[in-house]
Amino acid sequence: MNINFKENLKGLFKYIFLGILLLGVLIFRVGLDGNLMFVGIGIIILLPFGIWLFIQNSKDKKAIENNKEEIQKLKKYGEKIIVNLENIPIKSNSWKEEVRHTSQYEDEVSSVNINYNLIELEIPYKGDSIRYSLHIDMDTTILKMHFAIKRETTLYIDLKDKNKNYLDLEFLER
């Protein structure tokens, strides 16, 4: 009950947020026809949203940078385990999804190929095992070709916490 209440409250705040944002845009737009008071009110309403957007953007950039730093630390100081990519089981599912593009004069329907690959690894580590699960959105044949060409990759494990690990699949991004 408590979780549902929080979700409803988040949804309510989201709609209030969007409503005030739209109101600020409308007031600003009305003021562009020559009424500077409306322009000022619109700017006052939109200014907190601009500040919030700037703060969120800088937080996202900082989180990405911290993630890159953590990966570099794992690569430098973590324990390295070679993972054989040739015999990894890949559970895959692919389908076509129709996407409608509407314009003023016509509707255009196109199909988009969706590829969903699930890779689940269980890697032995110091008498225990590390379960590693990841989703890769790539054509299954191309993914298998990348794995066959690369043959093996490295799993980096933090020496203090085995749950902090990084499987190096950067070769898929090239």
pLDDT tens track for 117-165: 999 988 888 888 888 889 999 999 999 999 999 999 999 999 898 889 9
Give the count of beta carbons closer than 10 Å to the beta carbon of residue 25.
14
Of 69 and 12, the one with more pLDDT: 69
- C-alpha 105/C-alpha 55 separation (Å) is 39
Q: What pLDDT, on the 0 to 100 scale, is given for residue 102?
A: 78
Does pLDDT of 2 surpass 60?
no
Q: What pLDDT, on the 0 to 100 scale, is given for residue 1?
A: 47
Give the count of beta carbons closer than 10 Å to the beta carbon of residue 36.
9
